[in-house]
Amino acid sequence: MKKRLLALILCLCIALMAFPSLAGAAVLPGLTSKIDYENTDPNLYTIEIDLVNQVLTVYQTATGAIVFQTLCTTGNEENPTGSGVFKLGAMKERFGYFVAYHQYAQYWTQVVRGIYIHSVMYDSKKLSSMSKSAYNNLGKNLSHGCVRILPHYAQWIFYNCPPGTTCNIVKNRPANPALKQQLKAQIPAYASYPQPADSHADPAEVPATVLYANVPVRTGFSASRDTTVATLGAGDHVMLLQLAQDWCKVRTGSGKLGYVKTAYLLCDPDNVQVTTGYKASAKTYVYAAMDTGSKKLATLPSGGQANVYENPKQGWWYGEYNGVTGYMRTKYVKQSTVYVFPQLTVLPGGAAGGGSDAQTPAATYGARVAPGIIANFRSLPSSDGAVLAELPEGTPVTIVSLNGSWYYCEVSGVYGYLFRDCVVGN
């Protein structure tokens, strides 16, 4: 029995060494997850997923030669994996959490919308927590729609199949029990499976700023089927874990995970800036005085970035978090490398009242008046500003900059201010 296990592990190692690998890793530009790819040519490989036999095969596109073939797990009867020819999406994640299902997986590669190819499931980010049932059930259709495979195969696809790679999901292959039995025999026993090593740097997270008020963070891509786990306000900061043109997976300042429409976010994924700043190592507070018994003015979550102005007394900082000024404990707020979040473009001279002769800004953002209201379009960022127009719901507006709780906007050639809760993204 021991000899058989050793032979299986040796075969697995030989298979890993036989995988083709291209020199010259590269990170793709633009709104795409920042993966250190080993191959960036989307035409080099083709993926086929056989729903009948639960088999995933990777081919060399030019020759049709099989790179590898393995059992997989696709969607169950309630959540079937759809068939068709797809181009892999831009969203990837190295070791991510499924918000809707409370489990983890390694090496996510997006097929289309919320369907990914990824490893079998884990209960945590510890490699020892790999799900035994998910591992042993490879070859059966038991997932929520995604395609599960062994971690080392998911790793290979992650680094070698960039966005645009063809993925053909087929449902008309004849049953092939002999092939399934052959592939099942190649899988080591659960206790003997060697987790793959990975020398790549973790994909870079990208800082982003929320453009609008009342932006939902969802468990998935559907407003009807998925749950809203958080609501973001204009100017809030998030970290992007997965990036694409239409959606991003984000982590909020309070640690919530979910999906947000990319159109609601301001980011520059190819020019991420970091600086020395102050970050909370654990949940703490902004206090009214240098005394933990004083009033708590704000909660500073773990990972939250604060602005520190001075160190008035040992053990205390004086600074600001999220617009609230007060005192923070040096025990929990520590100097570290922090991300620089992008800011809305400020229009030169834009602080003046409304008019039609304002300069054209370097960047603007399309939006509209929120449903169910008539918005007062004002000359100043204040309820004291003169009303330039009353804008009915759905009126198109162009956001130029954010001034506190007010957007500086252009509407039909006239510039003025709208309260941010009156505006939603397109």
Question: Residues 99, 160: one domain?
Answer: yes
User: Which helix (H) or strand (E) segment is 7 a member of?
Assistant: helix 2-18
Q: Is residue 199 part of a domain?
A: no
CATH of the domain at 237: 2.30.30.40
pLDDT of amino acid 20 = 52
pLDDT of amino acid 23 = 42
pLDDT of amino acid 366 = 75
Question: Residues 157, 217: one domain?
Answer: no
HSE toward the beta carbon, residue 307, CA cutoff 13 A: 9
Q: Is residue 56 part of a domain?
A: yes
pTM, rounded to two decimals: 0.76
Rg, Å, the chain Cα set: 26
User: Which helix (H) or strand (E) segment is 316 a member of?
Assistant: strand 316-321
pLDDT of amino acid 34 = 95
Give the contacts of 152 (CB within 8 A, at least 6 positions apart).
12, 16, 196
Question: Residues 42, 126: one domain?
Answer: yes
Could you give the CA distance from residue 69 to residue 150 in angstroms, rounded to a whole number?
Answer: 11
CATH of the domain at 147: 2.40.440.10
CB burial string 257-282: b at 16+ within 10 A, e below: bbbbbbbbbbbebeebeeeeebbbee
Question: Residues 167, 24: one domain?
Answer: yes
Could you give the CA distance from residue 145 to residue 115 in angstroms, rounded to a whole number?
Answer: 6
Could you give the CA distance from residue 55 to residue 173 in angstroms, rounded to a whole number?
Answer: 10
Last residue of a domain, one of 137, 157, 192: 192
pLDDT of amino acid 9 = 44
Question: Residues 245, 305: one domain?
Answer: no
Question: Residues 76, 24: one domain?
Answer: yes
Question: Residues 125, 187: one domain?
Answer: yes
3-state secondary structure of 192: helix
Could you give the CA distance from residue 407 to residue 294 in angstroms, rounded to a whole number?
Answer: 35
Q: What tokens were used for 82?
A: 């759809």
DSSP letters for 236-288: -EEEEEE--SSEEEEEETTS-EEEEEGGGEEE-TTS-EEEEEEEESS-EEEES
Contact yes or no for 360/320 (Cβ under 8 A) = no
Question: Residues 163, 105: one domain?
Answer: yes
Q: Please report, as a single letter, which amino acid is at residue 99.
A: V
Last residue of a domain, one of 140, 159, 192: 192
Question: Residues 79, 119: one domain?
Answer: yes
Contact yes or no for 54/72 (Cβ under 8 A) = yes
If we measure between CA atoms, which residue out of 207, 242, 203 comes closest to residue 338?
A: 207
Question: Residues 42, 152: one domain?
Answer: yes
Q: Is residue 3 part of a domain?
A: no
Count of structural domains within the chain: 4
In the numeric block, the tokens 């020019």 are attached to 271
Question: Residues 323, 211: one domain?
Answer: no
pLDDT of amino acid 13 = 47
Could you give the CA distance from residue 108 to residue 225 in angstroms, rounded to a whole number?
Answer: 21
Q: Is residue 377 part of a domain?
A: yes
Sign, CA torsion 396/259/111/81: negative
Q: Is residue 137 part of a domain?
A: yes
What range defines the domain where residue 216 resides? 206-269
Question: Residues 162, 90: one domain?
Answer: yes
Q: Is residue 358 part of a domain?
A: no
Consecutive 10-residue averages of pLDDT for the chain (426 residues): 45 46 70 95 98 98 98 96 97 95 96 96 97 97 97 98 98 97 97 96 92 88 88 89 95 91 89 89 95 95 88 94 93 90 56 37 68 91 87 90 80 88 80
Q: Is residue 351 part of a domain?
A: no
Q: Is residue 70 part of a domain?
A: yes
